Chain A
C-alpha cells in the first residue's frame, strides 16, 4: 500500500504519464490511447477517493515541500497541499473527468484525432489537478497556465474550422489579460511578504501592517486572474465562443472544472481578499452583475450549447457573489453541485447533438423526449437542479448563496433572485423547445434514436450526483465542520422555491404550445430582445476598442518609429557616413600606380616635414 505522499504524486502524475505515453507510443491506435487516458484518470480517481477518506477521517495530511529554486531571497518550493478544500476539488475533477472521458468514447467515435483528443484531455486533467494541489503561488501559476494551454488546444481541437481556431485564440488572449494581473498580484504579494507559500501567507498576511491600498491592489490583481479564468465581467467574452470545441470538452473544461479554477483559487486565498473589504464588495458586484447579464443573454440564444455556456457564466457569477460576501464554503458548495449538473446538461445536450449529426439550433429540434427518453430524463434532472427545484442539489447550494446575500446585501439578493427566475425561464425554454411539442424538422429528427450506453451511462452517473449532491449540506459540512446551514424559516424557503417554479411556469406559458420560432418572446421584450440577442454588444465594443484605440496608438508608434527614429536618429548617422564615403570613394580609382604615387608622395611629404624640424 503506497504512503499518502506517494498516493498524492500518483494522483497528480498518472494523467501526465498518460499524455507522454499517448504522444510517444500509441498515437496510431485510438482505442489504446483512449484506454490509457481513461485508465489514468480512473487511477487518479481511486487515489482521490483514498485521500478523501483519509482526510475525512480527520488525519491531517502534510506533504513536506521541497525547495525547487533558491535565488537570494526568492525561494520557490514544490509540494502538494491535501486538505479538505483541495481533496473535494480533486474528487470533482477526477470523478466528473472520468465520467466525461468515458462519454467521449461514444462522442468522439470515428474522429481522426481521437488519440490527440485523449492526450489533450489527460494534459488538462494533469494541469487541473496541479492547480488544485499547488501549495504556493508559483506552482499554481505554472499549472494555471498549463490549464490555459490545454483549454486552447481543446477549443481549437477541430483546427480546420476557422471558427474553432479563432475561438481558441480568443480564449487564450482574454485569459492572458487576466493572467497579467495575476502575475503582478503574485509579485506584489511576494514583494510585501517575501514568500509564495499559501499556508505561511495565510497566517502572516494580516499581520504585516500593510496599507489599505497595497492590500486592495494585491487582492484586486489576483482577482483579475480569477476573473479571466472564471469568465467574469468584463473578461467573459471567451467562454461562449469556447463552445466551438467538442461537447465533452465544454462539459469538463468550460462548465465543470477549469472555469471553476478562479473561484477555487479565491477560496484558497480567502485570507488575501478578506484583508480588503473594498475588493470583496467589488467581487460580489462583479459576480452579481455577471450572473444577471449572462442570464439575460441566455434567454435569447438559439444554440443549445451557447445557452448552457451563458448559464455557466451566470452560475460562476453566483459563486463569485458568494466569495465576495465572504462565503467561500457556499461558493465551493455551489461549485461542486454545479460541476455535477452542468456537466450533466452538457453531456445530455451532446447526446442530442450527436443524434442530430451536429445540429445545435434548438429551433430545428423538438419532440425528442419520445425518441431519446434517457437523454431527456438526464436533461430534465439537470434542468431542475440548475433551476433550483427542491430536493435536487442546485436548490441547496443556490439557497445558501441567496441566504448569504440576504444577510449581507439586499441589492445583491434582488439580483440573485431575478437571475434565479431567468435561469428557470431559459432552461425551461430549452427543455420545452427541444424535447416537447412536435418535430419541427421531420427530416432531421424523424428517425433518431437513443445514444449508445457508453454515452448514457455517464449521464446516469452524473444525474445521480446531481440529485444527491446537496444532500443534507454534506459538502459544506465537510469543508468546514463548524459550518451550519443558514437557519431558514419555511416562509423564506418557500419563497426561494417559488421563484424558479414561477420561471418554469412562465417558460411553459410561452413555449408550451410548441411555437415554430421565438416570435412571442421577441414581441414581449421589444427592443430589449435585440440588445440581449446581441450579447450587450461586448464583442462589438472590444472590436471597436481594438480597431480605433489600439490601432490608433499603433499607428502613432509606427509613425514615430518611421520618421523620428528611422528618419531622424538613424538617418542622420547613416547620412553622414554615406556622404563621407561618397567623398572618400573618389580616391579609390583602381589604378595601382596612382596608389603607389600617393604613398610615395606621402612618404616624401613626411620626410620633408621631419627635416624641416617638425615634431
Chain B
C-alpha cells in the first residue's frame, strides 16, 4: 500500500475531530487545553503533508509558526488555569460563567 496525501489528510481529519470532541464534551480546563493541542497538531500534520506532496517549503515554515504559537498558548493557558484554580479551587469550566450576557 502506498501511503499518499489522502491518508495523511484522513489521519489529520480524525485527529482534529477527536480534538474537537474533546473540546466539546470535557469540562476540565486542562483536558480542553489538550484537545486544543490535538487540533493544532492535526493542522500541523496537514500542513506538513501538503508541503511534502506539493511544491515548496511554505507549509513546513507555517508549521514552525504554529508550534511556536502553541507553546506560547500553552504557557499562557496553563498559567490562567493555575490562576483560576487558586481563586476558585476549581478547574471546571461550567463554574466560570460570569461573562454571561
Interface residues of A (CB under 8 A from B): 585, 588-593, 596-597, 600
The chain A residue with its CB closest to the CB of B36 is A596
The reply to whether B101 and A600 form a contact with Cβ atoms under 8 Å apart is: no
The reply to whether B94 and A591 form a contact with Cβ atoms under 8 Å apart is: yes
Residues in A whose Cβ lies below 8 Å from that of B99: 588, 590
- The CA of A350 and the CA of B98, in the complex, are separated in Å by 77
Residues in B whose Cβ lies below 8 Å from that of A588: 99-101
Residue pairs across A and B with Cβ atoms less than 8 A apart, 19 shown, are A589-B100, A590-B97, A590-B100, A590-B101, A591-B93, A591-B94, A591-B97, A592-B32, A592-B93, A592-B96, A593-B23, A593-B24, A593-B25, A593-B27, A596-B20, A596-B23, A597-B24, A600-B23, A600-B24
The reply to whether A600 and B20 form a contact with Cβ atoms under 8 Å apart is: yes
Residues in B whose Cβ lies below 8 Å from that of A589: 97, 100
The chain B residue with its CB closest to the CB of A589 is B100
Residues in B whose Cβ lies below 8 Å from that of A590: 96-101
Min CB distance A590 to B, Å, is 3
Residues in B whose Cβ lies below 8 Å from that of A593: 23-25, 27, 32, 93
Residues in B whose Cβ lies below 8 Å from that of A592: 32, 93, 96
Min CB distance A186 to B, Å, is 61
Q: How many A-B residue pairs have CB under 8 A?
A: 32
Interface residues of B (CB under 8 A from A): 20, 23-25, 27, 32, 93-94, 96-101
Min CB distance B49 to A, Å, is 18
The reply to whether A596 and B101 form a contact with Cβ atoms under 8 Å apart is: no
Min CB distance B71 to A, Å, is 21
Interface SS, A side: helix
The chain B residue with its CB closest to the CB of A593 is B24
Residues in B whose Cβ lies below 8 Å from that of A596: 20, 23-24
Ranked nearest first, the 8 interchain pairs of A and B with the lowest CB-CB distance are A590-B100, A590-B97, A596-B23, A590-B99, A592-B93, A585-B101, A588-B101, A600-B20
Q: A590-B101, A596-B20, A600-B24 are in contact. List 4 more A-B contacts (CB 8 A).
A: A585-B101, A589-B97, A590-B96, A592-B96
- The CA of A588 and the CA of B97, in the complex, are separated in Å by 10
The chain A residue with its CB closest to the CB of B93 is A592
The chain A residue with its CB closest to the CB of B100 is A590
Residues in B whose Cβ lies below 8 Å from that of A597: 24
Residues in A whose Cβ lies below 8 Å from that of B98: 590
- The CA of A591 and the CA of B100, in the complex, are separated in Å by 8
Residues in A whose Cβ lies below 8 Å from that of B94: 591
Residues in B whose Cβ lies below 8 Å from that of A585: 101
Min CB distance B91 to A, Å, is 12
Min CB distance A585 to B, Å, is 5
The chain A residue with its CB closest to the CB of B98 is A590
Residues in B whose Cβ lies below 8 Å from that of A600: 20, 23-24
The chain B residue with its CB closest to the CB of A588 is B101
The chain B residue with its CB closest to the CB of A587 is B101
- The CA of A588 and the CA of B23, in the complex, are separated in Å by 18
- The CA of A259 and the CA of B100, in the complex, are separated in Å by 71
- The CA of A448 and the CA of B25, in the complex, are separated in Å by 105
Min CB distance A58 to B, Å, is 91
Residues in A whose Cβ lies below 8 Å from that of B93: 591-593
Residues in A whose Cβ lies below 8 Å from that of B24: 593, 596-597, 600
- The CA of A589 and the CA of B98, in the complex, are separated in Å by 9
- The CA of A17 and the CA of B32, in the complex, are separated in Å by 79
- The CA of A585 and the CA of B100, in the complex, are separated in Å by 9
Min CB distance B98 to A, Å, is 7
The chain A residue with its CB closest to the CB of B99 is A590
- The CA of A342 and the CA of B52, in the complex, are separated in Å by 108
Residues in A whose Cβ lies below 8 Å from that of B101: 585, 588, 590
- The CA of A593 and the CA of B29, in the complex, are separated in Å by 10
Residues in A whose Cβ lies below 8 Å from that of B100: 588-591
- The CA of A590 and the CA of B98, in the complex, are separated in Å by 7
- The CA of A591 and the CA of B23, in the complex, are separated in Å by 12
Residues in A whose Cβ lies below 8 Å from that of B25: 593
- The CA of A302 and the CA of B63, in the complex, are separated in Å by 101
- The CA of A593 and the CA of B32, in the complex, are separated in Å by 9
Min CB distance A6 to B, Å, is 76
The chain A residue with its CB closest to the CB of B25 is A593
The chain A residue with its CB closest to the CB of B26 is A593
- The CA of A596 and the CA of B35, in the complex, are separated in Å by 11
- The CA of A593 and the CA of B27, in the complex, are separated in Å by 8
- The CA of A592 and the CA of B98, in the complex, are separated in Å by 11
Min CB distance A607 to B, Å, is 11
- The CA of A592 and the CA of B23, in the complex, are separated in Å by 9
Min CB distance A220 to B, Å, is 66
The chain B residue with its CB closest to the CB of A594 is B24
Min CB distance A608 to B, Å, is 14
The chain A residue with its CB closest to the CB of B23 is A596
Residues in A whose Cβ lies below 8 Å from that of B96: 590, 592
- The CA of A596 and the CA of B22, in the complex, are separated in Å by 11
The chain A residue with its CB closest to the CB of B20 is A600
